[in-house]
Structure formats: structure tokens, C-alpha cells
Amino acid sequence: MTTTTSKATAALPRGEELLHDPLLNKGTAFTPAERRALGLSGLLPPHVHRLDEQVARVMDNYRNKQTDLERYIHLVSLQDRNETLFYRVVVDHIEEMMPIIYTPTVGQACQQWGHLFRRPRGLYVSWEDRGNVESLLRNWPHADVRVIVVTDGERILGLGDQGVGGMGIPVGKLSLYTACAGIDPAHTLPVMLDVGTENEGYLRDPLYMGLRQKRIRGAPYDAFVAEFIEAAARIFPEAIIQFEDFGNQNAFRLLEQWRERVCTFNDDIQGTAAVALAGIYSALRLTGKKLREQRILFLGAGEAGIGIGDLIVSAMMDEGATCEEARQQCFFVDSHGLVSKSRTGLAEHKLRFAHDVPPATDFHAALEAIRPTAIVGVSTVPRSFDQRVIEAMSRWNERPIVFALSNPTSKSECTAEDAYRWSEGRAIYASGSPFPPCQLNGKTFVPGQGNNSYIFPGVGLGVVACRARLVTDRMFAAAARTLASLVLPSDLEMGRIYPSLTRIREVSAHIGTAVAEVAYKDGLARAPRPADLAAAVRNTMWDPVYRTYA
């Protein structure tokens, strides 16, 4: 299928220049008429291939690669040549490709960024550019930016400070906005704010590509981030700005500082919260219990953990609990033990969950003291949900809820197989990075992946479609409810508490509609309300198909 471009042929670049524009290039799919009209005759081999034939060629090469990192490089190089073909390949093979263009493989790519580098993608804004950030943003070649993902590289997945190599994450996340929710790639902008790195290995590496200095902190850092956000909001007033993989000493503060002023959210805090809450809603369909009856113990009290805790509290309040009652159902263990009233020097974001409980210095002790119905791992401590933990959970609960969300796979608190084996198949399990299906006593379990890609692309789609002014927690709560409602009985039957990723564009369209609905209800939408909101949201979705130029 092709659609005709609105861009007049005369306005298109021609010849070699057109072949090097990834948003317009069709490679061997340029028709004879286009080749004649656009100065391409002779610059391509004579046979004209259809898009599906090009996909077959890419997949042939892709499957011949030996490692996931080689597959990543293959795909990113394709993206740099021909974005339509790249997205066609990704959309048609989303389950296979998601772990390559995102966690876990993207983590390896970030770690080797300076060594793998081929072509730049996105905007690198460095501390050296302070005072001049607006002019950098004006260098971006596309005027109509609708989604910006920005990182400073300090907390990349569970891998810590990756400095400028963190750029892999905004690039990957924006690919998912397009693949999962049909955001036009010409409307996306990945940004790396390079303020230095604490990673000594990179500072010593001659191929490292960022500033060779320790991180800028405190007021100068905040001023630099503010310069970027204010300039971005001025130049791209329609854009949603997603904070991504900032260290938690900055993430909470920046979110609070900006969320009421510009259209922004933090995916590690709010997106994660929504995907985890959706997982809990689905799990409750299996246990037959109410959210308010859950006692949830988190391992890790950072962005992900506190974000999930806050959203669960507001969801419990929707069920009639008071804020205090709801908070009393959520407990956190951090690197110093159970978060409690008796602890001193607790970070601001943990204080609301510091309860009057006896001290417990490790997770096992806290587990015995709390006896939770659900445990959520967001600690980056691999194997911390060991056999003792899962067996204890299975003694207290008919269907223990076990979410091991740390990324990448090497950081997971427990594998799917261990959770099912140690609980004799009773655990309701989800992970952050994907695990393959596993067999136990003749039954196949398909573990769910609490993948933020179920949420943020749909939220972005909804915000873009109605031109919302702000992104609110009510939008994330609606996204969580919508996601859970799309889980089929057949998914639950095999243990999967999220829909199949093959349905992701349908899922995003539903979430986009629910989010836009909230924006209209709350007076946050700038676009007039269409008669059929669901159809309008779907119509904004970009499809990876070739446009006809001549």
C-alpha cells in the first residue's frame, strides 16, 4: 500500500540527496516514474522492489547476525538509511525486535556508544553550550517537533552513569513512540544533556564522546536544565517533553519543578507506575482480591518504586481508602533496610512511606515482618528474590504477586523460571526485561513483561492528538486501567498479565483515546474535541508505508 505525499515533487530533494534523507528515501522501491522525475535514474539497481520484498531482505540479513548487538547495529543503520523500511520491519516483528531496539540490548549499545558510533542521531546539548542552547535547538532540521525524549545519562536502565552514551535511550524510546503508537518520526527529537560523567572508565577511554569532566551539580545544573526546557517549550510549543533516565536525586525535583509549567512527564516515575499498576489490576483478576486488600513490599525506593507506590495509593483512594490508609499498605526496602519512621536522613521522596514499623536491615527480615501479598523489585540487585523469598511468599499467599522489574535482564531480582519453580506454578510474575516462556509440570507459562512501552507511546499519542497542555497523573491512571482492560482471558490463562506485544498499536490507540478523554474532561486539551475521539486518535497515527512522489 502507498499513500501520496502532500509535498510537491518540486520541493523534494533530488538524486543522491534524496537517497541520503532517511525520512524520504525508499531505496530500490522508487518507481520508474519517481526515478525519472527525481534525478535517480542510474543511481539505483534497475529492479524495483516492493516494501515487503525489502523487508524480506532485511530479515534475511538480520537473522544471519551472530549477536544481539550486531542485530542492533544492523537495525540502527537501516534507520539511518530508510526510516519507513526500518519501521515496517520493527512493526511487523515487534516481539522479536523490541528487546533489540530497547532493553536489554540498547543497554549494551549505550555502554559501547563511543566504540560503535557510526552516525549521529538526535541533539547533543553540552554544558559548554550553556547560554546558547536555543540556537542549538534551532539547528534541528525539523520544525514540527511533537515528542522530545531527554536524558542526562546518569541512570541508564539499571546500568548507572553512561554519560553521553545514554543517548541510546532517547533514540530507542522515540523509535518505540513511532513503532508502538504511530508518532511520525519527523515529529520526534532525542536529546542528550551532557553535563559530564562520574564513570571513570569513560573518562579514561580515548573513544568516549562526551565532556571529560565530573558531572555539574546543584544550582548550575538546574539552571542548565531550565535553559533547555524553556528554549524547547518556546521553539516547539506543541511538544511533550519526556524526562528519561535521570538520577533520582534530580528526577523527582525536576518533575515537581516542571510538571505544572510545561507539557512534561518522567517515564521512569510515572510510566513505570502505570505499567505496574496495570499489572496489579490484571493480577487481581486472577486472585479475585481487591487492590485495597494488597500489602505491597518494594525492594528499591527510587524513581520506579516511589512512582509505583504513589500511583497505587491514588488508585486505592479511588476505591475509597484514605491517603494514610493507602500509604500504610505500601512498604519499601532500600539499600539501608526497611524504610521506617525511626530512620534518619531519609530522602524527601521516601518520607511519605516511612511507617511506624520495627527496623529491619535487610529484605528477608522486612519480608517476615510485613508478610506482603505482592513484592515488587526495582532495586537493580540481581537474584535478590531468592528461593527463600519466593517460598515464603507462596506459604502466605495462594497466588503470590512477584514483579521483578529491574533492567536489563542481568539485574532482574529473579527469573521467570525460578519464580514459577519455587512457587510450584502459583506466582503471578512479571519482569522488566523479557523472559522466554517456560514449562513446569506439563504447563507452559508465558511471563508478562512490565514494559513501559505499553504505556508511554499511548500517553504521548493521546497528548499529541488533543494537543494537551500538561501531562497529569489522572492520565496515567486512565492508561493503567485501559491497559489492564485489554488483557484477554487467554492471556491470563497462560500467566501473562499484559496483552501480547503484537497488539501494541491497538493498545496504544485505546490508551491515547483514554488519555485525550481525560484531557478534554480536565480542560487541558488545546485542540477542539472531534465528534469521534477514538477515530481521530487513530487517524493521527503514522503508518510505515511508502508515499508516492511522482
DSSP secondary structure letters along 185-223 = GGGEEEEEEE-----HHHHH-TT--S--SPPP-HHHHHH
Nearest distance in Å: CB 163, ligand NAI: 16
The one segment of 406-414, 460-468, 479-487, 522-530 that binds ligand NAI by CB under 6 A? 406-414
Cell of 198: 562520574
333 binds ligand NAI, rule: CB under 6 A: yes
In terms of C-beta density within 10 A (0-12 exposed, 13-18 middle, 19 or more buried), how is residue 215 classed? Answer: buried
CB nearer to ligand NAI: pick between 306 and 519: 306
457 binds ligand NAI, rule: CB under 6 A: no
How many secondary structure helices (H) and strands (E) does the chain include? 25, 16
Is 65 part of the annotated catalytic residue set?
no
155 binds ligand NAI, rule: CB under 6 A: yes
Is 221 part of the annotated catalytic residue set?
no
Give the residue among 314, 246, 290, 349 at the shortest CA–CA distance from 476: 314
**Is the peptide bond prior to 408 cis by the omega test (within 30 degrees of 0)?**
yes
The one segment of 165-173, 207-215, 333-341, 420-428 that binds ligand NAI by CB under 6 A? 333-341
CB nearer to ligand NAI: pick between 252 and 258: 252
Q: Please list every residue from 196 through 255 that binds ligand NAI, using CB under 6 A.
A: 248
Nearest distance in Å: CB 311, ligand NAI: 13
Q: How many residues does the chain have?
A: 550
Give the residue among 79, 263, 33 at the shortest CA–CA distance from 176: 79
Question: Considering 62, 72, 87, 102, which one is annotated as catalytic?
Answer: 102
Nearest distance in Å: CB 195, ligand NAI: 17
Q: Name residue 440's amino acid.
A: L
Q: Are 332 and 309 in contact (CB under 8 A)?
A: yes
287 binds ligand NAI, rule: CB under 6 A: no
Element (H, E) at 123: strand 123-126
335 binds ligand NAI, rule: CB under 6 A: yes
List the one residue from 83, 154, 227, 268 that touches ligand NAI (CB under 6 A): 268
Cell of 267: 517515564
Q: Where are the alpha helices (DSSP H) in 12-127?
A: 15-19, 32-37, 51-64, 68-81, 83-92, 94-101, 105-111, 113-116
300 binds ligand NAI, rule: CB under 6 A: yes
- Looking only at the bridges linking them, the beta strands covering 438-440 and 443-445 are antiparallel
The one segment of 124-132, 192-200, 294-302, 500-508 that binds ligand NAI by CB under 6 A? 294-302
List the one residue from 34, 161, 334, 418 that touches ligand NAI (CB under 6 A): 334
List the one residue from 89, 231, 304, 366 that touches ligand NAI (CB under 6 A): 304
List the one residue from 178, 373, 406, 472 that touches ligand NAI (CB under 6 A): 406
Question: Considering 26, 72, 87, 173, which one is annotated as catalytic?
Answer: 173
CB nearer to ligand NAI: pick between 254 and 533: 254
168 binds ligand NAI, rule: CB under 6 A: no
Give the residue among 206, 205, 203 at the shortest CA–CA distance from 215: 203
Nearest distance in Å: CB 350, ligand NAI: 8
Rounded Cα gap, residues 32 and 45, in angstroms = 11
The helix/strand/coil state of 409 is: helix
The one segment of 27-35, 116-124, 401-409, 526-534 that binds ligand NAI by CB under 6 A? 401-409
55 binds ligand NAI, rule: CB under 6 A: no
CB nearer to ligand NAI: pick between 133 and 487: 487
Nearest distance in Å: CB 252, ligand NAI: 9
In terms of C-beta density within 10 A (0-12 exposed, 13-18 middle, 19 or more buried), how is residue 123 classed? Answer: buried
List the one residue from 25, 111, 242, 272 that touches ligand NAI (CB under 6 A): 272
Q: Are 415 and 435 in contact (CB under 8 A)?
A: yes
Nearest distance in Å: CB 304, ligand NAI: 3
Who contacts 195 (Cβ-Cβ below 8 Å, separation ≥6)?
A: 126, 127, 152, 211, 215, 216, 221, 224
Residues forming contacts to ligand NAI in the complex (CB under 6 A) are 155, 157-158, 248, 268, 272, 275, 299-305, 333-335, 378-381, 405-407, 411, 432, 450-452
The residues carrying an active-site annotation are 102, 173
